[in-house]
A = this chain, B = another copy of it.
Amino acid sequence: MEMARIGATPKGGVCRLALTDLDRAGRDLFVRWCQEAGCEIRIDQLGNIFARRPGRDNSKPPVMTGSHLDTQPTGGKFDGCYGVMAGLEVVRALNDHACETEAPVEISVWTNEEGCRFAPGMTASGAFSGKFSVDFALSRADSDGVTLGQALKKIGYDGAEPVGRPVGAFFEAHIEQGPVLERERKTIGVVTSAQGQRWYEIKWIGMESHAGTTPMEGRRDALVGAALLISEARRIGMRPDGRATVGVIESRPQSRNTIPGSVFMTLDLRHPLEAELTRMDEAMRAAAARIAAEHHLEVQIDQIWYFPPTSFDQKCVDSVRNAAAKNGMSHMDIVSGAGHDACYLARVAPTAIIFVPCKGGISHNELEEARKEDVADGCQVLLQAIIERANAA
């Protein structure tokens, strides 16, 4: 709640965009708290912050946990910040109980996760795991032309450490950002995988003509084509763990009595299994081709982005599930529908995510809320999972 004061909005949310002065203030507060907890701070070339609590064997790669401190423009108190604060709480709890771990424990703050100031999001965790080069990440520019590198320098978080190194295990605590845990009345979501995503831009081309004089049979109505695909996409998404969303639609010429001649739409398909996601892609393309032929339309489908499904590490996932079970907490296996820094970390380290419920599943919204007991339970699970992995052979 103290961190949430930095960038607090009148509606109870937080606006703390990546690498702004507010982001610096949040980072400074986090660093101070970690130093007070006895941690050693390191900053890498992308401004990722690592707060290290030594273990018995400091030659071992650290067990790491963390998330991000940047928010959406009308974001909430929990998205990202919870995972960082949970890491701090784990370190404090280890201190309080003078509990020594075999491997060191580190808390990480990943730069520019949200991607709303510098696209794409998860920039710095992506670079840490080798998805992007450091130069690529530094050269991302905001809408004013300021690069990520310039913004880092301006707030004094352009560190010296190289980006990327061995990590023994990575855990991220996060609010679910969806309604499932609340609906199922479970406190802990054991995240087994994250959805793969395919993003498309689809253009329908028909023929503008007069709404009154053009008989229905001869029409080439681009909006009818788009509408039929929206409805087909929904059908294609309606499989276990599937998602299909048309978020953007633009029709031309936007005249009440003219048949639309062209329509642009986006499509977002998600599934945690590669093979299913491929089947969804195929079904969507087949449906679009069938609709186009039936309605004398041309359709262009461009896949503009692909994020493969992530399967989390069996041992890390088990550590999370075991911790929840040992504490008698209600829990369930769940798939992450959103992308998280942990999805990139999973490429280079054994990784898992712990979800806690958020009210109404609402996130990326100033109304975002989570219950104190739930976030505490999430910290408890995180603590035990970290101890288990840090002490594993």
**A residues bordering B, Cβ < 8 Å?**
176-180, 183, 195, 197, 199, 209-218, 221, 223-224, 226-228, 230-231, 234, 237-238, 242-249, 251, 254-260, 266, 268, 270, 336-339, 361-364
CA distance A216 to B244 in the complex (A): 8
4 nearest CB pairs, A to B: A178-B213, A212-B337, A227-B230, A213-B337
Q: Are A245 and B259 in contact (CB under 8 A)?
A: yes
Q: A179-B218, A199-B256, A228-B231 are in contact. Are A212 and B243 (CB under 8 A)?
A: yes
Known: A211-B337, A212-B270, A224-B231. 14 other contacts (CB 8 A): A179-B214, A183-B218, A199-B256, A210-B361, A211-B247, A212-B338, A213-B338, A214-B337, A215-B243, A216-B234, A221-B234, A226-B227, A227-B231, A247-B260
| Residue of chain B at shortest CB distance from A362 | B209
Which residue of the partner chain, among B246, B255, B362, contacts A248 with CB atoms under 8 Å?
B255
Query: Which residues of chain B are near A246, meaning CB under 8 Å?
Result: 223, 227, 260
CA distance A203 to B339 in the complex (A): 32
CA distance A270 to B255 in the complex (A): 16
| Residue of chain B at shortest CB distance from A197 | B212
Q: Are B247 and A338 in contact (CB under 8 A)?
A: no
CA distance A216 to B134 in the complex (A): 37
CA distance A361 to B246 in the complex (A): 33
Which residue of the partner chain, among B176, B247, B249, contacts A257 with CB atoms under 8 Å?
B247
Residue with the greatest number of chain B CB neighbours at <10 A, chosen from A199, A209, A362: A209
| Residue of chain B at shortest CB distance from A178 | B213
Q: Are A210 and B257 in contact (CB under 8 A)?
A: no
Which residue of the partner chain, among B211, B248, B339, contacts A243 with CB atoms under 8 Å?
B211
Q: Are B210 and A178 in contact (CB under 8 A)?
A: yes
CA distance A180 to B268 in the complex (A): 40
Q: Are A216 and B238 in contact (CB under 8 A)?
A: yes
Q: Are B256 and A214 in contact (CB under 8 A)?
A: no
Interchain nearest-CB distance for A330 vs B (Å):
19
Interchain nearest-CB distance for A303 vs B (Å):
13
CA distance A51 to B287 in the complex (A): 59
Query: Which residues of chain B are near A248, meaning CB under 8 Å?
Result: 251, 254-256
Q: Are A361 and B214 in contact (CB under 8 A)?
A: yes
CA distance A270 to B183 in the complex (A): 46
Interchain nearest-CB distance for A67 vs B (Å):
16
| Residue of chain B at shortest CB distance from A239 | B216
Q: A338-B212, A338-B213, A361-B214 are in contact. Are A247 and B255 (CB under 8 A)?
A: yes
Query: Which residues of chain B are near A227, meaning CB under 8 Å?
Result: 226-228, 230-231, 246
Q: A212-B337, A216-B237, A337-B210 are in contact. Are A249 and B230 (CB under 8 A)?
A: no
CA distance A214 to B248 in the complex (A): 17
Interchain nearest-CB distance for A115 vs B (Å):
11
Q: Are A242 and B255 in contact (CB under 8 A)?
A: no
Interchain nearest-CB distance for A384 vs B (Å):
26
- 12 contacts across the A-B interface (CB closer than 8 A): A180-B215, A210-B364, A211-B243, A212-B336, A213-B337, A213-B361, A216-B244, A224-B230, A227-B228, A227-B231, A245-B259, A246-B260
Q: A214-B361, A231-B224 are in contact. Are A249 and B247 (CB under 8 A)?
A: no
| Residue of chain B at shortest CB distance from A235 | B216
CA distance A258 to B247 in the complex (A): 6
CA distance A207 to B134 in the complex (A): 39
Interchain nearest-CB distance for A306 vs B (Å):
14
Q: Are A212 and B195 in contact (CB under 8 A)?
A: yes
Query: Which residues of chain B are near A268, meaning CB under 8 Å?
Result: 211-212, 256-257
Which residue of the partner chain, among B197, B210, B228, B256, contacts A338 with CB atoms under 8 Å?
B210
